[in-house]
Amino acid sequence: MSSAREFYDRLADDYDRIFPDWDASMRYQASVLDRLIAAPGSTILDCSCGIGTQAIGLAALGHRVTGTDISPLAVARARREAAARSLTLPAAAADMRALPFAASTFDVVLCADNSLAHLLTPDDVVTALGQMRRVLAPGGLLVLTRRDYDPDRADHPRFSPPQVSDRDGRRSITFQLWHWHDDGAHYDVEHFQLHGDADRWRTECRRTTSWALTRAELSELAARAGLDALTWHDPADSGYYQQVITARA
C-alpha cells in the first residue's frame, strides 16, 4: 500500500479532475471558509494544501496564505497554479507532524479535505494537532474539514459515488473502492480515475490507507493535543461539503 506522499505525488497532475469545475470549487470553498475565519487578511497556514484548492481561493480573498503538504509534486503544482492566477502562495513540502515554523506564527491553521485521515495512529494524530496548535498565535483558530465517519463506522461502505469532469475535450471519472480492515476503523483506498473519450480510455489506480475516526475519537485526541473550544459544524449549518471542526489554541 502506498504512503500518503506517494499517493498524492501520483495524483498531483490529475487532482483538479476530481471536481466538475475546479476553479468554481476553489471559489465556493474559500467563501465558506472565509465566513468561518471571520477575520479579513489573516495569516493562514494550509498544512495539507495539495495543489492549492483551498489555499488559492483564500489568497484570492486577501488572506496571507502559506501552504505545506506531504507531497512535493502537489506543492510545486500549487505554486504554479497560484502564479497563473497572479497570486502569491509560498509553499513547501512538509509533514504536518513536524511543521517547519516558529511557535505562534499564524492566525489560522487549515487542514482540509479529510487529510487527517491519512494519520493512522492516535500518537500521529495528537502529534499533528499539537504541531498545528504550536504554530497558532494565542487564541488562533484551527479549521479541520473531514468526512463524517460516524455513519461509515456503522455501515462500512465499499465505494464512493463517481464524480465526472468534462474539460479541455477530455472526460474524467473518479471513484473509490474501500476495503475495510478487521478492526472496522481503518480501510485501504483504491482511488480510480478514468480519462478519455468515447473511443479511448486510460485508467489510473492509486492506493493508500485511511483511518475513519469517529467524532468521539477525534474529540478525545484534540483534547490530548491541548485544543480548546472544539466546535462541530455540519454541512447543513456551514454550507461546506464536508464536516468542519473549529478549535482554539
C-alpha cell at 197: 473519450
Q: Beta-carbon neighbour count of residue 109 at 10 Å?
A: 29
pLDDT at 1: 74
| C-alpha cell at position 123 | 500518537
pLDDT digits (tens, 9 = 90+) for 164-189: 999 888 899 999 999 999 999 999 99
Please provide residue 122's backbone torsions phi and psi, each rounded to the nearest 5 degrees: -55, -40
pLDDT digits 0-9 by tens, 126-144: 999 999 999 999 999 999 9
Residue range 191-240, pLDDT digits in tens: 999 999 778 999 999 999 999 999 999 999 999 999 999 999 999 999 99
Structure confidence by residue, pLDDT tens digits, 44-73: 999 999 999 999 999 999 999 999 999 999
* 205 DSSP β-pair partners: 192
* Single-letter residue type at 7: F
Cα dihedral 248, 117, 149, 24, rounded to 10, equals: 80
pTM of the model: 0.96
Residue 211's pLDDT is 98
Give me the pLDDT at residue 199, please: 81
Q: Which residues pair with 238 in a beta bridge?
A: none
Average pLDDT over residues 138-166: 97
Residue of 118 and 2 predicted with greater confidence: 118
Using pLDDT thresholds of 50, 70 and 90, give the confidence band for residue 81.
very high
Q: What is the pLDDT of residues 25-46, one digit of tens each?
A: 999 999 999 999 999 999 999 9
Check pLDDT > 90 for residue 109: yes
Residue 133, pLDDT score: 98
Residue 21 has pLDDT above 80, yes or no: yes
Residue 41, judged by CB atoms within 10 A of its CB (0-12, 13-18, 19+), counts as: exposed
